[in-house]
Amino acid sequence: MTLRQGESLAAHTFGLQLDGVLVEYLAEVSGLTVEQDVVVSPRNTDRGQMDITILPGVQKNGQCTVVRGVTRSVSFTRWINDSVNGRTGTARKTAAIVLMDHEDNPVRRYTLRNAWCTRTDTGTLTADEGAVLTETVTIAFEELVIE
- With pLDDT > 70 as the criterion, what percentage of the chain qualifies? 93
Q: What rounded mean pLDDT belongs to the chain?
A: 89
In this prediction, residue 1 carries a pLDDT of: 46
Residues 6+ apart with CB under 8 A from 64: 29, 30, 31, 32, 33, 97, 112, 138, 139, 141
> What architecture (CATH level 2) is domain 14-146?
Roll (2.30)
Q: Model's pTM, two decimal places?
A: 0.84
Domain range list for the chain:
14-146
145 pLDDT above the threshold of 80:
yes
Q: Residue 88: how many CB atoms within 10 A of its CB?
A: 11
